[in-house]
Chains A and B, each alone.
Chain A
Amino acid sequence: MKAAWITTALLALHSLSAARDWTQPTLAERAAEAAGRSPWESAFWIGLGLAGTLAAMTLLGLSLVYAERKIAARFQCRLGPTRVGWRGTLQTLADTFKLISKADLVPRDADRLLFFTAPWLVVSGMLLALVNIPASPLLFVVDLNIGLLFISAVGALSVLGILLGGWASNNKWSLLGSMRAGAQIISYELSLTLSLLVIVLFTGSLSLGEIVQSQQEGWWLWRGHLPAMVAFLVFVIASTAELNRTPFDLAEGESELTAGFHTEYSGLRFALFYLAEFLNMFIAAGLAATLFLGGWMPLHIAGLQTFNRVMDFIPPLVWFGLKTGGLIFVFMWLRWTFPRLRIDQLLKLEWRFLLPLSMVNLLVAALVLLLGVYGKGGPA
């Protein structure tokens, strides 16, 4: 038990320093390994994983909302929040307290059971995906050997939550919003999964840990050449749509549907939907960084020894943060630049353009792998 505390302290220190050994056990593996020795230590690792995930969720939620408001403001030649805390950094915290203390309204004719369940379904889908994201060799809660499959599978809980929440509100805007969101998420799930499969083909594994390890010699975005680049673009477009963000935000479409599926939600339940939305953006960006940009791996250029050595000194967590942060900025940039699509344009984009493109792309990737042009994990 004492050893567990010391290891935790070392973990905290270690995650900030440059770690050369990239094969560290995940928290779940530590728990499983300790289970035979002492159940308390095992419980400690599980508790650490849970507490860490919840803390990460809170901190990310607060900072992402702040970032979105600041960036949106800059795009619109405003300043954004400036008053609460240093440069308005505590604004989201204040808003969170405001949301929690608000009256909890439930429409009279709402289906109460479904109305109460829906936000929790959305949040649990998000949390189950969040624990799989490898932020650094040491900040990695669980590395499932079906990692990618699991992340796409638990996304289903969010769809269920959105559909039920919109229906249970007993409001035509909510219903329309949730139908649009459902149709959109299900449609874009196809090209999203097909673009993930390209990386699964190259790596030969569904486990996120192994996918990161496979990028030691180079990120898949470069090493995979054209198929990987196309897959990356499709992934970014499809995940913007999955997140219901502009230009695909007609599920919320505030000028036509008030707020879409969460029109009737207030207080804490609204906060949960809002939190899940931002955390899902983090998960999408983190996943894109892990699959295409090498996750926590530093940037290496073959042949430049000194450059690579210097890059190794930057801790893995910082690398992951930079890549994910950059992608989150791209999502926000898209949101504040493009106008909203119409529903038929949105469905046409997926079914007429993205889906055929990603199917052909997957075929090209398979051919490339079969002919042994590049990539690893070919036919065993």
Chain B
Amino acid sequence: MRPSDPFFYLFALLALGLARACVCSQHLLRATLYLAGVLFCGAAFYVILDAEFLAGIQLLVYIGGISVLLIFAIMLTRGPDLLKDRPSPLRRNLALALSLSFMGLCSFLVLRTDWPAALPAEPHENPVRDMGVRLLNPGEGGLLLPFEVISVLLLCVAIAAIYLARPGSGEERPLS
């Protein structure tokens, strides 16, 4: 047993509990908080696996981006009275059947797959630098093309946001 094992089981239990709470909560905003908790546990798993960079990105993208976006969307679109969602029995049973069959499929695939043995842990001198070099490497094993495609996409989004905010785009109305 490695020293990180207790932490793995702790976070695994926490993630399971939070995931259940997220799915079963009838309160949309609370469900978002539980979801953020599950995603936080995901970041903890990455840390246990020595993938700190991925953990940082998980926090930044999923908690800082997705969860906050969800909360904003809920706050902007629904009044507090509508937040309590009561599903009909049909919807409830359908959801149960769907999620059970998905779980069955997943377990089947996990059990069927012959997992390759874990790679020998080679301690990287500087994992972040290695990853950066690999991302910008056009040769074999390099990921330059997908990296550039995503970068250009993000740049387009940022420029589009500036374009929307520039004076004279559409009718000028106060944002408050």
Interface residues of A (CB under 8 A from B): 35, 111, 113-114, 117, 144-146, 149-150, 152-157, 159-160, 163-164, 167, 170, 175, 179, 182, 186, 189-190, 204-206, 342-344, 347-348, 351-352, 355-356, 359, 380
Contacts and interface: CB of A to CB of B under 8 A. Distances in A.
Interface string B156-176: 001001101111000000111
Contact of A380 (B80, B128, B133): B133
A157 B56 CA distance: 12
B59 A163 contact: no
B126 interface: yes
A80 B174 CA distance: 38
Interface in B101-152: 126-129, 133
A113 B68 contact: no
B68 A343 contact: no
A347 B53 CA distance: 31
Contacts, number: 102
B53 A149 contact: yes
Contacts of A155: 64
B158 A146 contact: no
A272 to B, nearest CB: 17
Nearest to B175: A344
B29 A111 contact: yes
Q: Name the residue among B27, B33, B55 with the largest chain A CB count within 10 angstroms.
A: B33
A351 B59 contact: no
Contacts of B164: 351
A344 B162 contact: no
B64 A190 contact: no
B171 to A, nearest CB: 13
Given A160-B68, A351-B161, A152 B29 contact: no
B91 to A, nearest CB: 24
A145 B129 CA distance: 9
A144 B52 contact: yes
B158 A355 contact: yes
A344 B158 contact: no
B63 interface: yes
| 7 A-B pairs with the lowest CB-CB distances in the bound complex, closest first | A156-B64, A351-B165, A153-B59, A153-B60, A149-B56, A343-B176, A156-B63
A163 B60 contact: no
Contact of B59 (A35, A113, A154): A154
Contact of B72 (A144, A182, A347, A356): A182
A359 B158 contact: yes
A155 B68 CA distance: 12
B94 to A, nearest CB: 28
Interface of B: 3, 27, 29-30, 33, 36, 52-53, 55-57, 59-60, 63-65, 67-68, 71-72, 75, 80, 126-129, 133, 158, 161-162, 164-167, 174-176
B165 A348 contact: yes
Nearest to B56: A149
B3 A35 contact: yes
A350 to B, nearest CB: 8
A317 B72 CA distance: 42
B128 A160 contact: no
A190 B158 contact: yes
A164 B126 CA distance: 37
Contacts of A111: 27, 29-30
Nearest to A178: B75
A351 B162 contact: yes
Contacts of B126: 145
A206 B52 CA distance: 12
A284 to B, nearest CB: 17
Nearest to B67: A160
A117 B33 CA distance: 10
A163 B75 contact: yes
Given A146-B52, A351-B162, A159 B174 contact: no
B63 to A, nearest CB: 4
Contacts of B63: 153, 156-157, 160
Given A145-B128, A156-B60, A160-B63, A356 B75 contact: no
B56 A163 contact: no
Contacts of B52: 144-146, 150
Contacts of A351: 161-162, 164-165
Most chain A C-beta atoms within 10 Å of own C-beta, residue among B36, B63, B133, B166: B63
B14 to A, nearest CB: 15
B68 A352 contact: no
